[in-house]
Amino acid sequence: MKLKVHVWRQANASSKGKFETHEVSDISPDMSFLEMLDVLNEELVDHEKEPVAFDHDCREGICGTCSLVINGEAHGPQRAATTCQLHMRKFDDGDEIWVEPFRAGAFPVIRDLVVDRKAFDRIIQAGGFITARTGSACDANEIPVSKEIADRAMDAAACIGCGACVAACPNASAMLFTAAKVRHLNMMPQGQPEREVRVRNMVSQMDAEGFGACSNHFECEAACPKEISVEFIAEMNREFLGAMVKADNTVPKRG
């Protein structure tokens, strides 16, 4: 296949970016999208040009490193797949492809297609954990967890933290990411003691990072490579309201 690729180039966070157009040929339908970019980069290096920077690592859809908005869609046209799992057989000979970084105020561009997603780590720091000092745990079978709960917690925990939900959302909201972690931990019996403080702190941190609000577009669910359900957002909202009301009434506020 022969393709025309319009790719976003930006030297660093403070410079202005623009699209650059390249032709790539000899693209096999069995190649992954990232392998197509590898081919483009080899050619650029051959012509003594700087290759396109893009994030990737596992290339098997689990680490959450790869990103890219392809023809306007986060992770491209294939449902339930990351960019590294997208194959060129989804495109036709002669196609034009537009490749951009994940765009959001809270994800500043580092270079070309690479963005900074540290805001997600800070949301986890705010409460995305269960406090369990190493070595202090009881026997794992002492706290049974029904299969139903474990399965549903796993549905939420499958999030790979790639940020496609943010990139796909017209408001650049991080609700799906945050809700997935809140719900995973708040469903588990081990997560009960911290459940209210967890949801309060994670949601506040999400707001502080500058992510937008959710106005029920549900683009996030459509873009999510792990098909995390928007139901978790509704559940988190209920928990958040409950936790806030309780915090106002009973818990003295922290400074």
Partner 1 sequence: MNAERTSSAKDASAGGNGTLNSHCPTGPIETRWDKHRFDMKLINPANKRKYNVIVVGSGLAGAAASATMGELGYNVDCFCYQDSPRRAHSIAAQGGINAAKNYQNDGDSVFRLFYDTVKGGDYRARESNVYRLAQVSVNIIDQCAAQGVPFAREYGGLLANRSFGGAQVSRTFYARGQTGQQLLLGAYQALERQIATGKVTMHPRTEMLELIVVDGRARGIVTRDMVSGEIKTHVADCVVLATGGYGNAFYLSTNAKGCNAMAIWRAHRKGAFLANPCFTQIHPTCIPVKGKYQSKLTLMSESLRNDGRVWVPKYEDDIGKAPGDIPEEERDYYLERRYPAFGNLVPRDVASRAAKAVCDEGRGVGSTGLGVYLDFEEAVGRLGKQAVSERYGNLFDMYHHITDEDPYAVPMRIFPAVHYTMGGLWVDYNLMSNLPGLFVLGEANFSDHGANRLGASALMQGLADGYFVAPSTVANYLATVTPGAVDKGHEDVKAARSTVKERVSKLLGVGGKRSPDSFHRELGLLCWDKCGMARSESGLKDALEKIPALREEFWENVRVMGTGEQFNQELEKAGRVADFLEFSELMVRDALNREESCGGHFREEHATEEGEAKRNDEDFCYVAAWEHGGDGNEPKLHKEALNYEYCKLTQRSYK
For partner 1, the binding residues in 85-124 under the rule CB under 8 A are 85, 87, 89, 110-111, 114, 116-118, 120-121, 124
Q: How far is the CB of 87 from partner 1 (least distance, A)?
A: 7
Pairing of strands 3-9, 96-100: parallel
Residue 66 binds which entry of partner 1, ligand FES, none, with Cβ cut-offs from 5 to 8 Å by kind? ligand FES
* Smaller CB separation from ligand FES, 61 or 191: 61
Q: How far is the CB of 48 from partner 1 (least distance, A)?
A: 7
Pairing of strands 18-24, 3-9: antiparallel
Which 61-90 positions form the footprint of partner 1 (CB under 8 A)?
61-65, 78, 80-81, 85, 87, 89
Residue 249 phi, psi dihedral angles, 5° rounding: -85, -40
- Quote the DSSP letter at residue 84: G
The position carrying tokens 């909202």 is: 237
DSSP H stretches of helix in 118-230: 118-127, 147-157, 164-168, 175-187, 195-208, 219-223
Q: How far is the CB of 162 from ligand FES (least distance, A)?
A: 7
Q: Is 147 in the site for partner 1 (CB under 8 A)?
A: yes
Q: Is 55 in the site for partner 1 (CB under 8 A)?
A: yes
Q: How far apart are CA 165 and CA 151, in angstroms?
A: 22
> How many C-beta neighbours within 10 Å does residue 43 have?
15
Residue 14 binds which entry of ligand FES, partner 1, none, with Cβ cut-offs from 5 to 8 Å by kind? none
Q: How far is the CB of 139 from partner 1 (least distance, A)?
A: 6
Residue 30 phi, psi dihedral angles, 5° rounding: -85, -10
Q: Is 183 in the site for partner 1 (CB under 8 A)?
A: no
Interface residues with ligand FES (CB under 6 A) are 56-59, 61-66, 82, 84
Q: How many residues does the chain have?
A: 255
Q: How far is the CB of 51 from partner 1 (least distance, A)?
A: 6
| Side chain identity, residue 2 | K
- Quote the DSSP letter at residue 247: H
Binding string to partner 1 for residues 1 to 40, with x set by CB under 8 A, is what?
----------xx---------------x-xxx-xx--xx-
Q: Is 249 in the site for partner 1 (CB under 8 A)?
A: no
Helix (H) or strand (E) holding 46: helix 33-46
Which tokens sit at 130? 């269960």
Q: How far is the CB of 157 from partner 1 (least distance, A)?
A: 5
